[in-house]
Each structure stands twice: as C-alpha cells, then as structure tokens.
Amino acid sequence: MATPDTLQNQDGFKSQFGFIMAAVGSCVGMANVWRFPMLVSRYGGLTFLIPYFIFAFIICQSGMMEEFSLGRWARSGPSGAFGKAMENGGHSKKLGEWIGGVPVLGSLLLAIGYSVVMGWVFAYTKMAITGELTAMGTDMNAIGGTFGAMAPEADTLPEALQMTFATGGANNFWIIIGVVVSLVIMLAGVSGGIEKSCKIMLPILYVLFIVLAIVMIFIPGTSAGYQYIFTFDPKGLLNPQVWVYAFGQCFFSLSVAGSGSVVYGSYLGDDVKIRQSAIICAILDTSAALLAMFIIIPAMATTGADLGNGGPGLMFIYVLPVFNGMGGIARLIVIFFYVAILFAGVSSVINLFETPVNFLQQQLHLKRWMAVGLIHVVGVIVALLIQPWTSQWMDMVSIYILPLGAVAAGIMFFWVMKKKDALAAAQLGSDKPIMKWFLPFGKYVFVPLCLLCFVLGIAWGGIG
C-alpha cells in the first residue's frame, strides 16, 4: 500500500514558476471581478486600496508563508499536516488529523458551490463567442431575464431541492461541462495537469485583462472612473468598515483557509523559496484585482451607473449593457472578458477540489484516478441539486468554515509546532535568514486577525 510520503514523491510541482502559477490561480477568482471593484467604488478609491495593500502585506508575510511551509514540512494536506504538527508539539496526532478535516470539508463544499458558478461562466463564455450576449444590446429585460433563467433563487435549501426536482435543473449541461474540465485536468496529475494548465491559463488571463484595461483608456467617458479610483479621503480611513472589508476581501482573495495552500505546499520541492513565492503570489493576485478594477469602474463610469452591490449580478448583468454599448469592439471585449473569467474560475476550482482529493489519497490511500473521480462525482451531483441555493451555500462556507481552517492552520504552525521546526520549515530553500519577527507576527497579529474574521463574518453576515 502506498504511503503518503510515497504519493507525494511520485508527483509534485516541477518548478517554482509552475507552483506560483498554480498558487496564483487558486487566489485569482471571480471575486476579484465581482467584489473587489465594488468595494473600491463603495469605499472611495485609494481610501479602500491603502488598507487593502496593508493587509496584503500582512497576510502574505504570515499566513501564506505559514501554509506553504506547513504543507511542505509535513508533505501532506491539512489532515496529515495538522496531525504531524500536533505530534511535533507533544499533543495528540489523531486530534490534529480530525481538526484537519475542517478545512478539507470547507474546500469541498466551496468547490461544489463554485462548480455552479463555473456553469454560469461556461454558458456565458459560449454566448459571448457566438454573439448571443452582444445581440442583447442594452436591453436589461433580456439581459436580466437570461441570467435569471440560468440562476433561479430559492430562500431555503429544501425549497431549492424542490425547485431542482420540479424543473430538472436550470443549467445542468454547463455545470457538468465545468466539472468535467476540472476532472480531466486533475486526472493528469499535479505536474501534468494542474501545473501545466495553470502555466497556460494564468498568462493568458493577465494578457486579456491588460488588453481590456488598455482599451478602456480610449473609450469616451471613462475618465471619471479613473479620477474616482485615485481619490483619497483621509477621513474615510476612520471608518471601521473600510478596514474590515479590506481585510475580508484580502483574506479570501489570498486563499488562506488552511486547505489549498497547505496542499500545494506539500507538492513543493525543498529548493523553492517560500517567502519569495508568497510575495509574488500576493503581488500577482492583487494585480489581477487591480486590472479588474481598471476595467469595471471606468466602464461603469461611461454610463454614470452605480456599481451598487457586488456578486454575480455585477459580472453577468450590469456590465453587459455597458460593454454592449461600446460600438464595434463590444463583441471582442465581451469575449475577452468572459474567457479571462473562465480561466480564473477553472484555476480556482481545481485548487478547491485538490484538497479533498489529496485527503482521500493520503488518509484512505486511494489511487489518484479513484480519488479524483469520486470527489468530482459527489461534487457534480450536489452542485446540480443546490443550484437555486448557491449564494447561501457559498455564504455558509465562507462565513463559518473557511476562517476556522485558517485559524486552525495558524495555531498549528505558530503556536503548536516547536519554534525551531517552524522556522526551519519556512527557511528551507532560501539562503537569506527568515525574518526575526516572522513567528511573533504570525502568533500575535495573523492568528488574532483570522479569529476576528470569523467573529465579524458571523456578526456582519460575511465580510469577504
């Protein structure tokens, strides 16, 4: 029977660049497009961006480094890594393995919800290419009706299940297509599937976003959007909401949840520089969010429209009449936009599915093809059933489970593991000594911030 160590030795990232592309892919998701520009708009350009940049530094220099290091040190995903950390600190290994099940569950549940959203993205990408989206013009009845038919909403899970069984599901075909794409990539393995696909998708995503951001400069009426982005109100920094939502957005965007980053870390070679990789990932993820901002806010400014709330409505409804009103290049803009989002979504969902796949490989010793197949079969069945309740499903996971995973991983690394082993894990692969403030900073800043994220998320109904 294969042991966890054997499994990890058989496959892993072949280069630091491949790892970074995969890690960035796990971070760059659709929330970069449908939430980040909305928050910048709501809280005032630079007034929001300054706290966001501060938290990006804090998280990448603590949480991201910690999760990559923990995974590589343990050569295991959350369950095995937490168990080894507890054993290292003189505590129950079995208890650590059980605690590690929390982020594994969170990752699976989020992957299921994300699969529904990916179904919408695949459908809209197809309609963008065929010209169906552009043909709607600025007719909000047609635009809103199209998305409403594809993504009906229910107030409760029983009501959602009843709706699904009564109608047969609103978007079954494209959800299945999205899950099959994830399945095919992951069956090819870590280096042959995840790494290779992200090395293709992520550069294309950035090129498309850069092209769209440049195009917006030449669209009449976008100047007001740029002026707003670069406004700064010192009084706005006194608003606690600015700081809370900046942290929440950054926390979830950088994907610190004790799951995917730990798993990807377990696939790393000893020569990879953890701190350098974390900094590059944070810079690239933030760059993607900023590019989305430079597309969405100037575009909305051309019509004087308010960004209002974020969420899928922004991406599938409110930007369409804006893009469609841009003349002869509208169809090309729409195609670029949805293809970029498609790549962002696929690179994220394979990271989310990889955590439970890794768990089945290491804890139950299943072969990879069997683990990948089982997880995707469960994922697609549940995704098809919960379609009308996707928003509530995603909120449940992001509010109650993901922050707990981040807290647990932080406690394991910064509080439970022996100090010398934690420092050695982060130091491995780098010639430069790790920062002296790394451990105390993680202990007394990052972990309390994760706890605060959990408490405020429950109190405010979600902050990211």
pLDDT at position 33 is 86
Answer for the pair 29, 260: CB distance below 8 angstroms, yes or no.
no
pLDDT at position 2 is 37
Q: Quick check: 428 pLDDT over 50?
A: yes
The residue assigned the tokens 């109100």 is 233
Q: Quick check: 120 pLDDT over 50?
A: yes
Answer for the pair 119, 175: CB distance below 8 angstroms, yes or no.
yes
Cα separation, 47 vs 456, in Å, equals: 21
Ramachandran class of 231: left when φ > 0, alpha when ψ lies in -120 to 50, beta otherwise: beta
- The pTM assigned to this predicted structure is 0.92
Q: Quick check: 362 pLDDT over 70?
A: yes
Q: What is the mean pLDDT of residues 254-283?
A: 92
- Token readout for 226 is 């740029």
pLDDT per residue over 202-217, tens digit each? 999 999 999 999 999 9
Cα separation, 240 vs 89, in Å, equals: 37
3-state secondary structure the chain: CCCHHHHHHHCCCCCHHHHHHHHHHHHCCCHHHHCHHHHHHHHCCHHHHHHHHHHHHHHHHHHHHHHHHHHHHHCCCHHHHHHHHHHHCCCCHHHHHHHCHHHHHHHHHHHHHHHHHHHHHHHHHHHHHHCHHHHCCCCHHHHHHHHHHHCCCCCCHHHHHHHHHHHCCCCHHHHHHHHHHHHHHHHCCHHHHHHHHHHHHHHHHHHHHHHHHHHHHCCCCCHHHHHHHCCCCHHHHHCHHHHHHHHHHHHHHCCCCCCHHHHHHHCCCCCCCHHHHHHHHHHHHHHHHHHHHHHHHHHHHCCCCCCCCCCHHHHHHHHHHHHHCCHHHHHHHHHHHHHHHHHHHHHHHHHHHHHHHHHHHHHCCCCHHHHHHHHHHHHHHHHHHCHHHHHHHHHHHHHHCHHHHHHHHHHHHHHHCCHHHHHHHHHCCCCCCCCCCHHHHHHHHHHHHHHHHHHHHHHHCCCC
4-13, 310-319, 346-355, 421-430: least confidently modelled range: 4-13
- Using alpha carbons, select from 286, 268, 366 the residue that is nearest to residue 65: 268
Cα separation, 464 vs 32, in Å, equals: 11
Answer for the pair 284, 67: CB distance below 8 angstroms, yes or no.
no
pLDDT at position 375 is 97
Q: How confident is the model at residue 432 (pLDDT cuts 50, 70, 90)?
A: confident
pLDDT at position 327 is 84
Q: Quick check: 8 pLDDT over 50?
A: no
pLDDT at position 1 is 32
Answer for the pair 129, 336: CB distance below 8 angstroms, yes or no.
no
128-132, 257-261, 309-313, 404-408: least confidently modelled range: 309-313
pLDDT per residue over 31-63, tens digit each? 888 889 989 988 888 999 999 999 999 999 999
The rounded Cα 134 to chain-centroid distance in angstroms is 28
Q: Quick check: 21 pLDDT over 50?
A: yes
Q: How confident is the model at residue 5 (pLDDT cuts 50, 70, 90)?
A: very low
- Residue 408 CB neighbour total at 10 angstroms: 23
Return mean pLDDT, the chain.
91
pLDDT per residue over 164-188, tens digit each? 898 888 899 999 999 999 999 999 9
Answer for the pair 4, 181: CB distance below 8 angstroms, yes or no.
no
Q: Quick check: 18 pLDDT over 80?
A: yes
